[in-house]
Structure 1
Amino acid sequence: MILKSPAITRVLLVRPGATEFDDQGRIKGCMDMPLSETGRRQAASLVDQVAHFRCRTIYTAPCESARETADLLARDPSSGQRVAKVKVIEAFRNLDHGLWHGKLIDELRRNHPKLYRCGQETPLDICPPGGESISDAKSRVEKAVLKLLKKNSDDLVTIVIPDPMAWIVQTLLSGEALADLWKAETDSGKWDLIEPVLSGR
């Protein structure tokens, strides 16, 4: 399947600020957690870094850290007044890591070395016990991303979404292969401006 945007659309992909689990190197998956102190500093820094971009709507994952970050981005830094709408997209909810929620990534590396290597080399094959496979999560988010690109053709689309789902979205947009799940688990407070290539399955 090849995803194509009908016109040139740029995507501002924002990873929200960190939560306490991110700070600790734990897997948070779809657990709903607020920004940590570190995360609030990261979110404030993001506001300054992307202030020159203009968008009418910010599309965000439903988790608290993403919504907090999106709310800050939707406000004018000097006045605090809202200058963009924030819309929650349920399909952007983070990967359900099942029984892995709360586990240290380093613990998985030490206790399950084969599984850890699979997450580095062939992450599409990963499915946490009681959770959602990365392949299923990719299919879920792919539909939502394509819908946004069609709706906002020839415009800037701003998406606030935590890792590892942001990692999946970035590979969909760029046409890159999925690689190293564990590195993606720990990214936060970052942004990328992407002109979608969108080569999919």
Structure 2
Amino acid sequence: MRRGRGRPVRRGNCLVGSPRLHPTDRGTDESGQGWRYRAGMSLGVRFADMLQILLIRPGSTDYDQQRRIQGNLDVPLNAQGREEVARMIDDFRGRQFAIDAVYAPECEPALQTARTIAEAFDTKLRILEEVRNVNQGLWQGMSIDEFRLQQPKVYRQWQEHPESVCPPEGEMLGEAAERLHVAMSRIFKKHKEGLVAIVASEPMATLIRRYIDRGQLGDLWKAAIEAHGRWDLLEVKPEAVPS
């Protein structure tokens, strides 16, 4: 999905297709990268009086290409994944992002992505284990397509009501959300303004996005398949910061 070409379309009080986008708009640019901007935000502008989170999904792995459930397994980036990270770095530079810190867990795809970005922007890489991906237990390593055929009811339940599902020998989303709260509280305490990057795999990345913008979980199967190498720019509103 592309924005910014053709005639602008009115949506609420904003014109989609102009440099000012609706606050809930998300999509991809020509390179396939994801974005999210608040209304009135111009590309490449940094707001020094607010905190923004650059939520980054790691580049692709062989498991992503094979449509396997990766969870928190240590699977390194493949050639496509390294190219995706390089494209993100070029995109961030083109938008003149000034990244104050990069946070990531010690999980191979996230850490590899985060280290490359931190080195490119000469900024600090901070390990934050609480944002490691959701432990999907015995599901990890399984083909998503085979899982859908073998366990159609569980597949649909994870698609429609994921918070009610616990993978065998894994953790529920609620448990992951509890440790995420600890992580975000730590970040909000340390950073009051500027741009902070968090590298996290799906579905943890979706939990982070929901924590900040209070949105819906959406289809986690689709996110797991499609979201590698994509990013969102999220404005931290006061109500998202724990008192």
Q: TM-score, normalised by structure 1?
A: 0.88
Paired residue type of 2:62 = E
Q: Residue deviations 1:109-129, cap 9 Å, x none?
A: 111111111111111111100
- Structure 2: unaligned runs, 5 residues or longer: 1-48
The yes-or-no answer on 1:36 pairing with 2:78 is yes
2:145 aligned residue: 106
Q: Deviations over 1:148-186 (max 9, x none)?
A: 022101221111111111111111111012222211222
Q: TM-score normalised to the size of structure 2?
A: 0.74
Higher relative CO (Cα under 8 Å, sequence separation at least 6) belongs to 1
CA contact 2:103–2:126 (8 Å) conserved in 1: yes
Aligned to 1:171: 210
CA contact (8 A) 1:10 1:196 kept: yes
**CA–CA separation in structure 2 for the residues paired with 1:56 and 1:171:** 22
Larger Cα-atom Rg: 2
Residue aligning to 2:6:
none
Segment of structure 1 superposing worse, 144-153 or 123-132 = 144-153
Alignment RMSD, CA only?
A: 1.7
Aligned partners of 1:173 and 1:199: how far apart in 2? Answer: 8
Count of equivalent residues: 189
Give the Cα separation in 2 of the matches to 1:126 and 1:183: 17
- Contact preservation (8 Å) 1:9, 1:196: yes
**What amino acid is the match of 1:46?**
M
- The amino acid of 1:152's aligned partner reads H
For 2:65, the equivalent position in structure 1 comes to 23
Task: Tell whether the 8 Å contact from 1:61 to 1:162 is kept in structure 2 after alignment.
Answer: no
Cα distance in 1 for partners of 2:53, 2:235 equals: 6
Superposed CA deviations along residues 57-80 of structure 1, whole A, max 9, x for unmatched, are 21112111111111221234xxxx
Gaps of 5+ in 1: 1-6, 77-81
Give the ranges of 4+ consecutive aligned residues of structure 1 lying more than 6 Å apart after TM superposition.
Answer: none
Q: Secondary structure at the match of 1:74?
A: helix
Determine the C-alpha separation between the residues in 1 that align with 2:100 and 2:236. 19
CA contact (8 A) 1:62 1:92 kept: no
**Alignment-derived partner of residue 229 in structure 2:** 189
CA, structure 1 residues 9+199, in 2 after alignment: closer, same or farther (shift >3 Å)? closer
Match of 1:83 among 122, 130, 135: 122
Alpha-carbon offset, residue 199 of structure 1: 8.8
Does the C-alpha gap of structure 1 residues 199 and 74 become closer, same or farther in structure 2, counting only changes over 3 Å? closer
- 2:202·2:220 contact (CA, 8 Å) conserved in 1? no
CA contact (8 A) 1:30 1:93 kept: yes
1-structure distance, mates of 2:193, 2:86 = 28
1:16-64 CA distances to partner (integer Å, 9 max, x unpaired)?
1011101110001010111011111111111111122112321112111
Letter in 2 for 1:90: E
